[in-house]
Structure 1
Amino acid sequence: MTALNVAATHVGTEALGPGVRSVVWVQGCPFRCAGCIAPDWIPDRPARRAEPAELAEELLADPRVTGLTLSGGEPMQQAAGLAELVGRARSTRDVSVICFTGHRLERLRTRPPTTGVPELLAAVDVLIDGVYVAALDDGRGLRGSSNQRIHHLTGRLANCGYDFAGRPRTAEIAVDGPQALLIGVPPTGLLDVFDTAVDAALAGTRPHTPRTSGTCSHTSRKEAPS
């Protein structure tokens, strides 16, 4: 069993793929893309340690969940653990799997950066590959910038009616005590609105840390330390 180093999770969202999904963001990314909206998730440092079986049970706690989305950070840095997570989840429910990565698919297939990459690719239905390039952020689709590609590694979601590349972006905000999590690929201008709103909510109460980010531009978080 390979433990995962997890930055965050969210159970039950419609902002990161078709249907109701659960998301796991792993800690650590080698790319350090300029404009990354989750810089706190870039360093390869201990976050939350979670066993795949435990995490699978958590992500499937909502019976409406029909899919998992794997993000970060960089999922391929923890490919073996994520492959095991997917296997555990699918032993309970036949979920679809979407995975973001800064690596190109060709490189993953010929020169995998870590162990477990072939197993994870075999479990993924849709892979969104390529680093985030802020100048190519066109405000469309389930990717941060237009250089990122959508690969249907299986036919499972190919004809589901969800436009991965061109759909209008949507996002959700989840508030849990002092933490606000922006889930999804943010539409143009939403990050500034999110930051302003959270700053206003925290003003006069206690200081907050800067919002965190992720290489593929699909989550942001602000948190007030206790």
Structure 2
Amino acid sequence: MTGTALNVAATRVGTEALGPGVRSALWVQGCPFSCAGCMAPDWIPFRPARQAEPGDLARELLADPRVTGLTFSGGEPMAQAAGLAEVARKAREIRDVSVICFTGHRLERLRTRPPGPGVAALLAAVDVLIDGVYVAALDDGHGLRGSSNQRIHHLTGRLAGGGYDFAHRARSAEIAVNGPEALLIGVPPRGLLDAFDRAVDAVRTRTTTPTRVRGQEHDER
């Protein structure tokens, strides 16, 4: 492994729930925030998960020729900024993809007091940054963000004029089942998260095998 190898919580190739068009998502393991109501608490601890090289991940994420963009979430992407910047660079050697990234850090802090190495490189690769921690009391049920305090920053003009309303669009989510694992992808509409948990619990009761994994925009949301 190189110094930019990533500790990956999950990936999903081909989704329409995490930004415009068909995208691939990469969730990193580990987050310094512990927001109440986090959608994926299993991805908060900084513990070993899947170790993967940026080039391998880029090829994996673009294996579907329909994919036109990448979405980075977690966990906290800025905790593995150097590796994600390299994933974006390697992916763009294959195909000219857009990049959306979620973070609990405010953009101003990332620019003036970056929390770790590679932040400037990742910001340079990102087209849309969604910043801020998840605040349950401000979850208004709209947009590709978990709560209204989170801000949408178009760092480039690439996705600004395509008609996709990041802040106010109706939410959508997808459920991917792969053997014993069920992955909830996207920012779920009201009620879906509880229904997903109940369904997984019901299956677990019958089989004792399924694993629940929630993946969304950002686990602080």
TM bracket (short chain): over 0.9
- Aligned match of 1:12: 14
1:66 equivalent in structure 2: 68
Partner residue, 1:157: 159
Spell out the pairing of 1:78-117 with structure 2 (5 A cutoff): 78-117=80-119
Distance between the aligned counterparts of 1:127 and 1:209, measured in 2?
30
User: Structure 2 residue aligned with 1:56, among 49, 55, 58?
Assistant: 58
Question: Equivalent residue for 1:130?
Answer: 132
Residues 183 and 215 of structure 2 are in contact (CA less than 8 Å); yes or no, is this contact kept in structure 1?
no
State the Cα deviation string for residues 15-42 of structure 1 (Å, max 9, x = none). Answer: 0000000000000000110110101000
- Tell me the SS of whatever aligns to 1:139: coil
Unaligned segments of structure 2, at least 5 residues: none
2:177 to 164, 175, 178: 175
Q: Which of 38, 48, 52 matches 1:36?
A: 38
**For residue 26 of structure 1, what is the aligned residue in structure 2?**
28
Task: Give me the CA root mean square deviation.
Answer: 1.6
SS state of the match for residue 204, structure 1?
helix
Counterpart residue identity of residue 32, structure 2? P
Match of 2:194 in 1: 192
Query: Quick check: 1-10 or 102-111, which moved more?
Result: 1-10
Q: Partners in 1 of 2:11 and 2:24 — Cα distance? A: 8
Q: Give the secondary structure class of the aligned counterpart of 1:155.
A: coil
8 Å CA contact retained: 1:10, 1:22: yes
- Paired residue secondary structure (1:81): helix
- Return the offset for 1:202: 2.5
Aligned residues: 219
Counterpart contact for 1:38–1:213, Cα < 8 Å: yes
Residue 206 of structure 1 deviates from its aligned partner by: 1.1
Shift of 1:204: 2.0
- 1:93-127 Cα offsets, whole Å, 9 max, x none, are 00000000000000000000010000000000000
Determine what percentage of the aligned residue pairs are the same residue: 77
1:59-100 per-residue CA deviation (whole Å, 9 max, x = no partner) reads 000000000000000000000000000000000000000000
Q: Does the 8 Å CA contact 1:41/1:214 hold for their aligned counterparts? A: no
Distance 1:158 1:33 in 2: 29
Could you list the runs of 4 or more consecutive aligned residues of structure 1 that deviate by over 4 angstroms after TM superposition? 207-215
**Residues 8 and 149 of structure 1, relative CA distance in 2, 3 Å threshold:** same
The yes-or-no answer on 1:147 pairing with 2:164 is: no
Query: What corresponds to 1:120 in structure 2?
Result: 122
**Matched residue of 1:57: which SS?**
helix
Under a length normalisation based on structure 2, what TM-score does the superposition of the two structures give?
A: 0.95
